[in-house]
Structure 1
Amino acid sequence: MIANLSKVNNNWVYQSNKLIEASHSFSVLEQKLIRVLASMIKKDDIELKEYQFKATDLSEILGIHQKNIYKELDTVTDKLMARVVKRKNDTDKKFKKFHLIKIAEFENGILTLKIDEEVKEFYLELKQYTKYQLKNILRFKNSYSFRVYELLKQYEKIRFRELSIKDLRTILDIEENQYPKYANLKQKVINVAMKEINLNTDIFFDFKEIKVNRKVTSIKFAIKSKTVTKGNDEIAATEESLQENNDIKIVKEIIKENILDHEAKKIFKIANGDITKIKEKYKIVSQLNNVDNIVGAVLSALKEDWTSTQGNSRHGSFNDYEQRSYDFDKLEKKLLGWDKND
């Protein structure tokens, strides 16, 4: 039976979290096609089926010109059938590799696809899974956006997800010699994904870099669901959002380090909107030695009303006392409310 794709945007994609966290790298077109196929599977299905699609329908959904559809589908199905999905555990020296597609056939303008039985655990009788509507990913133009979206969607209810740079590279199948510097990885992968996800999907995200000895070793993502409001509520929410954005912008202009929007918002709130006070406390914190967590320190300075005399000497008693007694990571978590999620 030929699939009706007239309302495919509203289809739900159900995937095992094991698949979401597996290592693989597909092109944009491959990822769209495999997810269109996955969206045909119903949550209560007990077996995998063959699905048939009109090439003209796929042309519109996948953004392929109709005169090129045969050639493009021939190429993309070749690649899909050759791709490998890897589940690895380097600690225990284990790995398992899969192909996702078992059958790809094109005849009389109809493409027939079937997912391989070996990966049915990723799509059928799911216990730990993530779901989203197909429309969220169909506008992506960058291949990494698909994977980052699913990784964050998986943790949407938790609102935060921390991934080491090593794990992120493994999941996204990015070799060490590809974007070898973190700055390149951030620019080409994380920032591009953030722009596409925040613009096109049902979630927003921001991120914070976690450093060890000044080297970025992991990323903490802050995830927020988009909500729909109506009428006066929508107007009020928009006005509030605009004001919040302005407050955040002001704080980020003062604090030069990379901070998250919600951190800037908290700093503004604790300072009661006093810009002079924020500048003063940031200046004090900037004079301290070896403070990796600037946000935690600024929040503490505001909360406890540190004075300039306490922070002026880089080798004074306060500086020494601060290093012994303050865990700025814990203080930040407490002040931001993160300790409730840990």
Structure 2
Amino acid sequence: MAKVVTKQKRKLPPSTAVVTQSNELVSARYALPLGEMRLLFTVISKIQPDDTKLTVYRIPVAEFADFLGVAKGSAYTEMKKITHSIVTRYVEIKSPGRLVQTTWVSQAEYIDGTGMVDVRLSEAMIPHLLQLKNGNFTQCKLLMLLSFKSQYTLRLYMLLKQKRDHNPRAKNYEFELGELRKLLGVSVERIERTDKFTKTQEAIELYQEYRTFKKYVLEVAQKEINAKGDIGFEYDEIRHGRPVTALSFRVFSIPRTELLPTEQQLSLSLTAQSGTDLDFVETLLSFVPDQHRAKKGVRATIEAAEKTHGFDYVKRNILYSNAHASQNYAGYLNGALAIDYGHDWEIEQQQASRAAEKAQKQVTLLELNTLADDIRALQRNSKLSNSPELWQQAEVLKAEYARKREIYDAENTEEEENEP
């Protein structure tokens, strides 16, 4: 008789685990990679309402890996990287009459041979995490925070939840665009080192054009929060002249019979493995429709084709399959990759796109330079924060830059030919 193997259910954080922070800390300015943010909020969830002092919080790496669906073997390596960098991360907290610049963590240590991480939060965190009273705090469910796949989703969710919890009768909550960028960690000012143990925080400017900020931050966060959160939102753009200068959010409750995310939603990694090939594969998978992305056969096909034919070849055939496959997506993609159906289709799409782009507006040199700055900033900060998400976004912008550069060059060539 064949032995039946029962698949163990992934261990999840207790549904009662809550992250409680002062409102000043929720509204603080900081930029954390997603893996470090998840570790930090897991630590904060360990603090009890009657605690009077901060202590060393011990997190079992295996348990943390179970929370996120990460293979335990790779989790140990990634956790070492996280504990090495998290002690250097700054947070800027505004309180009435004062501004505090401090690190989140005073000590983080991975203990070899124990499978444990010890984290001690900075003393400056005491008034923002302990003995919080008079309603001057915001609470979020840890399990829901861990389900978010973008650090910007997580930050925007907390900011909107704070606004709604403490002023539920307001119809709208308005953020000046520059300030919102700083709150989300998209725009970070340089902070000089304060002593020999700290590290200078370099200035960061991501998604400098509003359209890229909207696409990669706002729209991603809106889709994820509305799908997983206990609140949702819509927003309006406020303009002074042509530029968007502020955003007005309408926040609404979403009754959830069950706030536990699905295992698929929790199949997240602390940080993706390094390596250009893996970055390319993950980027290619992001083009695959959601319902097919998790299929092993689709991933194996893409990995093999990328090694043989390269990134652009595979990308155009994925996009071709997305447009034409009505059923059996994996089989259709296999056929497209074998014969390169996407080649002629891509040319047709590019021609149509160029015609539409030219009819709508001209591409300016300033627009190209801004796009190039966004790409360089994404690549630089991807390396600094070990964030594959930023690298993947840079790859998308590079394709957009190439397309617009071609339009710009064609336009200027035509102008030169028409000159007397």
TM-score, scaled to structure 1: 0.61
Q: State the match for 2:248 in structure 1.
A: 220
**Counterpart in 2 of 1:265?**
none
Contact in 2 for aligned 1:31/1:143 (Cα 8 Å): yes
Range with bigger deviation, 6-15 or 202-211: 6-15
Q: List, as ranges, runs of 4+ consecutive aligned residues in structure 1 with deviation greater than 4 Å.
A: none
Verify the 8 A CA contact 1:33 1:62 in the aligned structure 2: no
Query: Does 2:105 correspond to 1:101?
Result: yes
Give secondary structure in 1 for the equivalent of 2:146: coil
For 1:1-342, what aligned pairs fall within 5 Å after superposition? 7-87=13-93, 95-107=99-111, 108-127=114-133, 128-157=136-165, 158=168, 160-175=172-187, 177-228=205-256
Q: Is the 8 A contact 2:13 2:142 kept in 1?
A: no
1:132: how far off?
1.5
Name the CA shift for 1:207/1:48 in 2 (closer, same or farther; >3 Å): same
Report if aligned partners of 2:12, 2:66 keep a CA contact under 8 Å in 1.
no
| Cα deviation, residue 125, structure 1 | 1.9
State the Cα distance separating 1:155 from its structure 2 match. Answer: 1.5
The residue type equivalent to 1:99 in the other structure is T
- Per-residue CA shift, 1:69-107, capped at 9, x if unaligned? 221111011121110001369xx9x74211111222222
The count of residues paired between Structure 1 and Structure 2 equals: 223
Does the 8 Å CA contact 2:24/2:94 hold for their aligned counterparts? Answer: no
C-alpha separation in 2, matches of 1:43 and 1:63: 29
Compute the displacement of 1:188 (Å): 1.0
Query: What is the SS of the residue equivalent to 2:214?
Result: helix
Q: 1:8 aligns to what SS in structure 2? A: coil
CA RMSD of aligned residues (A): 2.2
| Alignment partners' CA distance in 2, 1:42 and 1:177 | 37
Unpaired segments ≥5 residues, structure 2: 1-10, 188-203, 259-420
Which digits, 9 at most, give the CA deviation of each residue in 1:251-289, with x for residues without a partner?
A: xxxxxxxxxxxxxxxxxxxxxxxxxxxxxxxxxxxxxxx
Q: TM-score scaled by structure 2?
A: 0.50
Separation in 2, partners of 1:184, 1:7? 34
C-alpha separation in 2, matches of 1:222 and 1:88: 25
Deviation at 1:64, TM superposition (A): 2.6
- Distance in 2, matches of 1:105 and 1:140, equals 26
Q: Sort the Cα spacing of 1:35 and 1:9 in 2 relative to 1 into closer, same or farther, 3 A.
A: farther
Query: How far has the Cα of 1:213 moved from its partner?
Result: 1.6
The letter of the residue matching 2:144 is N
Structure 2 CA distance for aligned equivalents of residues 113 and 62 of structure 1:
19
Alignment partners' CA distance in 2, 1:104 and 1:7: 21
Paired with 2:120 and 2:36, the residues of 1 have a C-alpha distance of 14
CA 212–228 in structure 1, closer or farther in 2 if over 3 Å, else same: same
Show CA shifts across 1:287-317 (max 9, x none): xxxxxxxxxxxxxxxxxxxxxxxxxxxxxxx
Kindly state the Cα deviation for residue 37 of structure 1 after the two structures are TM-superposed: 0.6
